[in-house]
């Protein structure tokens, strides 16, 4: 538990910077901090002139707990304290947002001229008096799921892509549904690899541990693999426009693609995306060296540039002819010394 001293000014107000305070998640793999809220909303029985009021079963208020027509009267509750949610960070990034908010009403206020950003709540003496000279705030966590990236076989030269998280889209979040949670991703980070072109991220892919290749991605040689992987992004990291829904064993959505957006749901534990690499045609140089007669040194004889596919065995360049070797300056010098 953290405490922050509130010092009221001459106007009986205090602006408290709560955006710099964050609570650790109780489930770091599934929830992210999104802000603070006041105590749970409470209620009490409605009274009129000190007399308890009941619903007579027909939507009418009555002072009698029993109704003459046999209906059971229902106690009418009215709120005594309203829960307020202060979204001090952007839950999609974890970064503090700007805000200057009335702690009593939750409404936005006009910040003073010296305000330089950050999330503040403005507390009044009346609020502190009502709460025994303190105000208690409780952390709010949003449901989120981690997306992990696998770039292939270890040591293949691909650049690292750190894991990221995406808020779930099952329902509104923030305490009692304080803000909309229709969250989605339209673009994901990409990787790069020398000699290869990144062709996108795939879910539910099977990777050959020896080669690092994805074996269940449709290709010209295997257009209909068993249990094919699902393409999530193109080579630029943009979520593909195709529609697809992944269900779990209980027929509940775990993730979804729709109109170039990726949605994840609470039923998903986590998701790993695999990189698809396409080898490029690259240039390589074959160099021939000519050894001298004393076997003590080499001189450059010739070289040639060839092309090949990344990851494939290089083809040897044609050997130089005997006449070319004999006419090489190094060979001429060798004959001259003999």
Query: pLDDT digits over 274-298, tens only?
Result: 999 998 877 778 887 877 767 778 8
> CA–CA distance from 136 to each of 31, 37, 126, 128 (Å)?
22, 8, 15, 10
Are the C-beta atoms of residues 142 and 181 closer than 8 Å to each other? yes
Continuous segment of H or E residues that includes residue 285 = strand 281-291
Distance from C-alpha of 265 to C-alpha of 260, rounded to nearest angstrom: 17
Distance from C-alpha of 202 to C-alpha of 150, rounded to nearest angstrom: 10
Find the range with the poorest average confidence among 107-121, 131-145, 225-239: 131-145
**What is the rounded end-to-end Cα distance, in angstroms, of the chain?**
92
pLDDT at 85: 85
Higher pLDDT, 63 or 163: 163
Q: Residue 178's pLDDT band (boundaries 50, 70, 90)? A: very low
The two structure tokens encoding residue 96: 């503090």
CA torsion sign, 165 to 171 to 172 to 177?
negative
The answer on pLDDT for 40 being more than 60 is: no
**Using alpha carbons only, what angle is made at residue 50 by residues 44 and 51, rounded to the nearest 5 degrees?**
85
The answer on pLDDT for 308 being more than 80 is: no
User: What 8-state DSSP symbol labels residue 302?
Assistant: E
Distance from C-alpha of 163 to C-alpha of 312, rounded to nearest angstrom: 31
The answer on pLDDT for 88 being more than 80 is: yes
Distance from C-alpha of 57 to C-alpha of 72, rounded to nearest angstrom: 6
Place of tokens 């966590």: 141
Q: Which residues contact 14 (CB under 8 A, 6 or more apart)?
A: 6, 7, 8, 122, 123
What are the backbone angles phi and psi of residue 101, rounded to the nearest 5°?
-125, 145
Mean pLDDT for 308-328 is 62
User: What 8-state DSSP symbol labels residue 146?
Assistant: E
Are the C-beta atoms of residues 161 and 151 closer than 8 Å to each other? yes
Question: What is the pTM for the complete model shown?
Answer: 0.66
CA torsion sign, 206 to 210 to 213 to 215?
negative
The answer on pLDDT for 110 being more than 90 is: yes
The answer on pLDDT for 144 being more than 70 is: yes
- Identify which of 187, 149, 173, 179 has the alpha carbon closest to the alpha carbon of residue 265: 173
Higher pLDDT, 104 or 128: 104
- Identify which of 110, 128, 148 has the alpha carbon closest to the alpha carbon of residue 232: 148
Are the C-beta atoms of residues 272 and 201 closer than 8 Å to each other? no
Are the C-beta atoms of residues 317 and 285 closer than 8 Å to each other? no
Greatest mean pLDDT among 230-239, 255-264, 327-336 lies in 230-239
């Amino acid at each position: 538990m953290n405490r922050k001293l509130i010092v009221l000014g001459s106007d009986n107000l205090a602006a408290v910077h709560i955006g710099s305070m964050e609570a650790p998640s109780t489930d770091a793999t599934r929830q992210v901090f999104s802000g603070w809220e006041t105590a749970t909303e409470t209620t009490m029985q409605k009274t009129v002139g000190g007399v308890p009021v009941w619903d007579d079963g027909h939507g009418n208020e009555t002072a009698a707990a029993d109704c003459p027509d046999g209906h059971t009267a229902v106690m009418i509750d009215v709120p005594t304290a309203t829960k307020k949610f202060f979204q001090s960070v952007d839950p999609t990034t974890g970064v503090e947002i700007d805000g200057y908010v009335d702690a009593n009403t939750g409404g936005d206020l006009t910040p003073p001229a010296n305000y330089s950003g950050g999330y503040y709540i403005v507390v009044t003496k009346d609020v502190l008096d009502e709460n025994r000279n303190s105000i208690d705030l409780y952390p709010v966590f949003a449901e989120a799921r981690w997306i992990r990236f696998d770039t292939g076989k270890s040591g293949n030269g691909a650049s690292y892509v750190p894991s990221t998280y995406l808020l779930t889209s099952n329902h509104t979040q923030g305490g009692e549904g304080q803000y909309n949670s229709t969250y989605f991703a339209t673009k994901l980070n990409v990787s790069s690899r020398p000699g290869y072109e990144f062709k996108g991220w795939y879910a539910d892919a099977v990777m050959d541990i020896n080669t690092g290749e994805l074996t269940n991605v449709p290709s010209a040689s295997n257009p209909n693999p068993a249990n094919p992987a699902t393409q999530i992004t193109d080579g630029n990291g943009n979520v593909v426009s195709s529609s697809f829904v992944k269900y779990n064993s209980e027929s509940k959505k775990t993730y979804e693609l729709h109109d170039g957006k990726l949605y994840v749901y609470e039923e998903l534990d986590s998701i790993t995306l695999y990189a698809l690499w396409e080898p490029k045609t690259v240039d390589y140089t074959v160099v021939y060296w000519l050894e001298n007669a004393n076997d003590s040194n080499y001189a450059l004889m010739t070289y040639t540039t060839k092309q090949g596919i990344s990851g494939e065995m290089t083809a040897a360049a044609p050997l130089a002819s005997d006449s070319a070797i004999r006419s090489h300056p190094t060979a001429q010098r060798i004959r001259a010394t003999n």
